[in-house]
Amino acid sequence: MALNKPYKDVPGTTIFDADMARIGYHLNQFCMSLMTAENRARFKADEAVFLAEWPMTADQREAVLARDYNRLISLGGNIYFLAKLFSTDGRSFQYTAASMTGMSQEAYAAMMLAGGRSPEGNRYIGEKQ
């Protein structure tokens, strides 16, 4: 029987549930490993070598190297785990969130100052028509 996942029709949003956690397990655990200065230094010295130590998929490795956060989330990454990766890069939550919206940093920051993204038209897929 299908499980109840009422959050599948929220636009532009991936809910990190047990299924996504299963798919993203090694990707997220790799991110956690960046919580020590030693591992951050090793990762920065040679990202591909460091990533090879983790049994991630080729897609997941590519997405890490590209810092493609929408793709990382579609491959089972979760934003709080991925935060260890962008923090290692010296990037903020706002920088990273903006990178996922297709907006420039400036436009995103201006949107937040103006009160943020409106929920109007953003509650259900297909609502904006």
Partner 1 sequence: MARITAGVTTSHVPAIGAALDNGRASEPYWQPVFAGFDFSKEWIAQQKPDVILLVYNDHATAFSLDIVPTFAIGTAASYQPADEGWGPRPVPVVEGHPELAAHIAQSVIQEDFDLTIVGKMDVDHGLTVPLSLMFGQPERWPVKVIPIAVNVVLYPVPSGRRCYALGQALRRAVESFDQDLNIQIWGTGGMSHQLQGPRAGLINRAWDQAWLDRLIDSPEELAKMPPIEYVREAGSEGIELVMWLVMRGAMDAKVNVRHRFYHVPASNTALGHLILENPT
Radius of gyration of the chain (CA): 16
Q: For the stretch 109-124, what's the b/e string if a residue is b when 16 or more beta carbons lie within 10 angstroms of its beta carbon?
A: eeeeeeeeeeeeeeee
36: contact with partner 1 by CB under 8 A = yes
The footprint of partner 1 on this chain (CB under 8 A) covers a number of residues equal to: 58
65: contact with partner 1 by CB under 8 A = no
Which tokens go with 3? 């499980």
Query: Given CA atoms 33, 39, 43, 46 in this order, what sign does their dihedral have?
Result: negative
The amino acid present at 72, given as its one-letter code, is L
Q: Using the rule CB under 8 A, which residue among 58, 116, 126, 129 binds partner 1?
A: 116
51: contact with partner 1 by CB under 8 A = no
**Interacting residues toward partner 1 by CB under 8 A:** 6-7, 10-18, 21, 24-25, 28-29, 31-32, 34-37, 40, 69-70, 73, 78-81, 83-88, 90, 92-94, 96-98, 100-102, 108, 111-113, 115-119, 122-124
